[in-house]
Every structure is written in structure tokens, then in C-alpha cells.
Structure 1
């Protein structure tokens, strides 16, 4: 066996106790073959690509040991027959592959992730999968050719799926996306606001990607549970969504708290009269925080002062 043949996914494992295990395995195989040319180019190896079903509904992927095993969520939480779209699973796989080289969700990580997305889009547009060495192989379906229209951009596909989930109030978060969000929105923010919004996305990615802070434990039944410590989640379990996000009155998309306009249709953020009684604005990054919080959830500065609260004694009348 050539050394180059090792730069790929060695084995795939679906959850056989789940219904329609054959479809899950086919999805894992498809993802593995699509990223194989990328793995060959970057000299990455993944010994096992497996399906997992963590109790934490927000957890979408996990990279164990920089490629020893990559775990992907393939089904909606609590809905075993509802598979996550292929484009989203593929994008999560690209995200987890980045952890082979880079651990934290920092600028270098997001730069690498964006490069992988571009590489993958080029492969998909050319129909290259599997052992297409040198990015020059052609994808061919067993049994002959089937002509399809040019596939959409990976970014467009994941964005469309995220918008649909936001409108339908799906269980999972919007999942993978570029740090900082839409360039049009970021250009409308001050540097402090943009930094705070980028911090929100990093915290958000730390929630759905378990590789940044692995705290998974395996049970005898093969179910992996997540017990993550860290900042409070922007997403709640169940069908509820984060109260800090605001809903566009025109297209109903849920936007980030700092976004002044809707990311999809450009509608201005509505002003809520009673919002000032429910939130407080951080004097450092201007993020609107819940009145239940004493520290800013983005920059971690204190609400009333430059440090933790200090107890003071009243005047003495002796």
C-alpha cells in the first residue's frame, strides 16, 4: 500500500441500533469520499469516521485525537428518521478536519476552514470524489452517467438550509458558518461591535463543535453524552430558540443580537420599547445583555464597574 493511500478515512461506523442504519452508512461513505482528495492534499488521516448521537442537541461534531476518530451527528436530535442534509454534514466534516491542524476556534482556524470550503466547492463542481488524485479525477455513478445541473455552492446550500431551520424553529443551531457572519452586516458595525459579534460566533461554534473542549463520555450502549463546561449557551434544548436573537418582521429569520439589519433581506432591526428594562448595554463592546447577568457575555466585563462587586459598609452613628 502506498503512503498516499493512508491519507483518507480508513473506516466508517454507523450506529447500527438506529433505524435506517444503511442510509447512515451511505451518508458517511459519501462524505468520506468527497473529502478524500482534500485529505490527500493536506496529508490528513482519519482512522474512524463514525456517527454519534449525543444527548446535547447542539453538538454536531467531534474530532478525537486530531484524526484518531471524527464523530458526526447525522440525524436531528430526537428524530431518528430525520437526517441532516448532506451539505451540512459535509461542512461539519470540513470543520472537524481543520482540528487535525488547529485546535482552538481562532483566526487561523477559520482561515483554514474557509480554504477547505473553497477546495470542496471546486471538487463538487467538477464531480471529483474518492481517489481523484491531483484534483483531476471525474466522479462517475455506478451504472452509467446521470446528467445534473451544476451543483450549488456549498456556502449557498448551507445558508439556505440554515434559513429554513430558523423559520421552522428546528432543534439544531445554524451550525457551521464563517466567523463574523455576513460582510455587509460586519461593515455596518463599529470595531467594538464587530469584535463582540465575532466573539459570539466563536462561543457559538464552541457549542456545536465538541473538539474545542472535549468532555464526552461513552456508555456501554455506545451513546455518547456531552457534559460541557463554559459560557452559557446561545441555544436552548428542545424547540425553543435564544431570546437574545431578534426575528425579522419581513422574512422571520433569527438574527444575531448585534446585527442592525436582517442578514437575508436587509430589513432594519425593530426597536422594542421595553427592551431597556430587560437588557443592559456593555460600556466596552455595546452588547445588549440580559439584566440577569452581572458580566457581559461577549467581553466578560462587569456591568456596573471595572471589577467585581465590592461590599461597602454603611456610615456609623455611634
Structure 2
């Protein structure tokens, strides 16, 4: 059976650390999960290696646009405990973006968002890595025709869809459990993006030293050539992803390629980001936005009311969370509220023969504080003629306030107003 060149040439792990065989297997598993994404864009990686730098926050490094990618597999405070596979894959997707983009700017985050979306789609459709299909059964054997690979991929995707239907589970991960704080879930997701971005050593002064350290301590394993059956399965899943993208974007769909790695997400215009920081995370999907909190009105304040606006909420440019208009910063990522655009107010057209209402017809409709309006009401009440405070019931002698016309004791009506 014909073979093709591997997308990742070599794996490198630290042979002198505990559980070294598991580290090598983890590197291979991470590579198998992202290979369809790499094959669709024509990306290749020379060496995929683990590293355990003394800097506790570092998670990944891309050296020379894919010549070497380093991933932290173990927790910084315990080299025997491995980081969850999904977090390592997320770091791998981040470092793959550095093959195309250097700085952590808007195009970089757009591409990272697209890679994350495609990875989640692969998991949802049952892809578990090269050479495996849904149940983890090794394919092997004779060459699989492309139509048979597509049939098996569709069958696995349909089986996965039926198993997860109604479970509330989000593609490839755990869904929001009942009673869980959705705002905390959004904040944790935004924090995860920030952590991975800040833990990237690509393009820093420390990157060369890290590469030299891995060359000294690493044990290299040459990757096996990819089987044609593996390529057929990958292409079948890529076809399924492209079909879903076409349905999602419609006429705006743009296929991913080496020239346009971000696909449709790169073609759709994005709102501008604040230029104060280059480590901002990509936007969170709109479907995960929580309902905004109702604004709190202080009736005791003597400050003048803010000018009226057509909007009672504002959207964060960083995590797209909808915040109430009274919030000066985002409730999820603490980003400062952007300056709202100014738009002139157009008065409604007046009917023929009618005089348009003036601004001072009713003093209570003017924009004044609640305390000023209360003073106006009290002044108007004081100007009215004062009468008796109450009256005595002629039947039972019960005293009643003037506003009551009937006695609360016997029900008799008062004799005079």
C-alpha cells in the first residue's frame, strides 16, 4: 500500500522524567487530533516536543514557523501529573497559528478561533485521531476507497449525534450543568484564552534558550509515514466540516486553504478591538451570552440624570458579553466600556393642523433628578387650599381622614364633603 509523507516528522520527549512512555504517546495523540486541520492548510511541523521550563506560566512555543513546536505536558509543580489532553490540544492549536502569524493580533485570534471551531466539529462528528474511527478500532488492512471512507465518517458522525442528542453536551466537551453559573463559565473560557496567550513563548527572548534546552534533554523518535487509509479518513471528515461551514455561512462561505487559513471567519469583517493590549482573547460565541442584569436606579441621588439613549445595554468588544448600561466595565473580562457613538435625535413629524408639543409643557417630563421632581409635587400640593384633616362618623363616632367617604367601623357615609 502506498504511503505519504508525515505532517509531523519527529517527536521528542524527555526520557529522564517519570512516565516518559506516556509523554511520547500524548505527543502522538495530540498530533493525530490536529492533523486534519494541518492537512487542509498544507502545514507541516519538523519536531513536536515536550518541554518543562522553569517559568511556571509557559505552555507552548513555536520556533521558526513550525520547525519545532514545544508543548508543556506536565503540571509545573508536579512532573508526574499530566495536564488534560484537551488543554494541551488547545495550546497546540495556538502554536500552529504562529506558522502564519507572528504577533497576537486580530488576524491571529481570528485564525485561532477557526482552528478551535474545526477541532470541536471533528470531535462532535466522532473523529478520535488518525487510524481510528469513533470506537477506537484500528482500520488497517487493504486500502479504503474514498467513497467508503466518506460513508464510514458519516456513519460515525450520525452515531455521535444520536448519542449526544438531548444531553446538553457541547461538541467534544462537557456542557453547562444544571445550576452552574453561566457567567462563571464564560469568564473561565475567557481566562483560559488569556492564560494560553500569556503562556506562549513564541517570539520572545527566552525562545532560543528553550529550544537549546530541549535539544540537550530530548529523546527523538522518527514519525511513521502516514497510511493512505488515514489520509482518506481525514479527507472524509474535512468534507463533513466543509458541508457544515457552507450551511452556517451560506453565500459568505470561504473554504480554508494555505492562502486563506482562517476561511470564512477571516473573510467576515470584525468589530475593531482596543489597541491598548495585544493579548486580548478572541470573541466568545453569541449563543453563550447570559441575560443582562436590570439596571439599579438610585432615587435619592441629587446628581442630574444621564442623557437618554436608545440602548439600555452595551456589548464588550473583547468577549462580546452584553452588559447593562450602568456597567462601566465588562462583568466577565473587566474590559473598560467603549465610548458610545453619538447620534442626533430626530423629532417625530407633527400632524397637519396640530402644534408640536413644546419641551416645557409638563415640568415633570423634563430630564431632572427624582429629588427635583418630588420638590415640584410637594410645592404643587402646598399651593392647594387646605381643608379639615378628618371627620367624625355621625353613627358610631369613629374618626376618619378626609380622603375616606365611608366609615371603616360601621360603613356609614359622611354627611358632607
* Alpha-carbon distance in 2 for matches of 1:262, 1:105: 21
**Structure 2 matches for 1:76-115, cutoff 5 A?**
76-115=75-114
The 5-angstrom pairing of residues 273-292 of structure 1 reads none
Matches within 5 A, 1:1-318: 5-6=4-5, 8-131=7-130, 138-142=133-137, 150=164, 152-153=170-171, 176-177=192-193, 201=194, 207-216=198-207, 217=209, 218-219=212-213, 221-222=216-217, 260-262=330-332
Local SS of the residue matching 1:100: coil
Shift of 1:176: 4.5
Residue pair 2:8, 2:44 contacting (<8 A) in 1 also: yes
TM-score normalized by structure 1? 0.51
1:105 to 1:47, Cα distance in 2 relative to 1, 3 A: same
Question: Deviations 1:128-183 (Å, cap 9, x if unpaired)?
Answer: 25458xxxx844424799x98547436768xx9xx79x99xxxxx98752xxxxxx
Which residue in the other structure is 2:383 paired with? Answer: none
C-alpha deviation, 1:78, in angstroms = 2.6
The separation in 1 between residues aligned to 2:46 and 2:31, in whole angstroms, is 11
CA distance in 2, matches of 1:122, 1:9: 22
**Structure 1 residues 38 and 85, CA, compared in 2 at 3 Å: closer, same or farther?**
same
CA offsets per residue over residues 247-283 of structure 1, 9 Å max, x none?
xxxxxxxxxxx955357xxxxx9xxxxxxxxxxxx9x
Rounded to whole Å, the distance in 2 between the matches of 1:120 and 1:260 is 28
* 1:42 to 1:96, Cα distance in 2 relative to 1, 3 A: same
Quick check: 2:33–2:130 contact (8 Å CA) kept in 1?
no
User: In the aligned structure 1, how far is the partner of 2:25 from the partner of 2:106?
Assistant: 34
Residues in 2 aligned to 1:83 and 1:20: alpha-carbon distance in whole angstroms: 9
Report the CA distance shift for 1:9/1:214 in structure 2 as closer, same or farther (over 3 A).
farther
C-alpha distance in 2, partners of 1:56/1:72? 13
Residues in 1 aligned to 2:191 and 2:10: alpha-carbon distance in whole angstroms? 25
User: Structure 1 pair 123/33, CA: closer, same or farther in 2 (3 Å)?
Assistant: same
Work out which of the two has the higher radius of gyration on C-alpha atoms and give 1 or 2. 2
After TM superposition, give the deviation of residue 28 of structure 1 in Å: 0.9
- TM-score normalised over the length of structure 2: 0.40
**Shift of residue 13, structure 1, vs aligned partner:** 1.7
CA contact (8 A) 2:121 2:171 kept: no
State the superposition RMSD in angstroms.
4.5
How far apart are the structure 1 equivalents of 2:332 and 2:11? 40
Q: Which runs of 5+ in 1 are unaligned?
A: 168-172, 178-200, 224-230, 234-257, 264-268, 270-281, 286-318
2:51, 2:71 within 8 Å by CA — same for their partners in 1? yes
How far is 1:35 from its partner? 0.5
Q: Do 1:7 and 1:40's aligned partners in 2 also have CA atoms closer than 8 Å?
A: no
CA distance in 1, matches of 2:21, 2:216: 19
Cα deviation for residue 14 of structure 1 reads 1.6
- Cα distance between partner residues in 2 of 1:99 and 1:19: 30
* Cα displacement string for residues 191-223 of structure 1 (whole angstroms, at most 9, x for unaligned residues): xxxxxxxxxx5xx65530011325231348528
- The 1:37/1:143 distance shift into structure 2, 3 A limit, reads closer
Q: Is the 8 A contact 1:206 1:212 kept in 2?
A: no
User: How far, CA to CA, are the matches of 1:221 and 1:69 in structure 2?
Assistant: 14
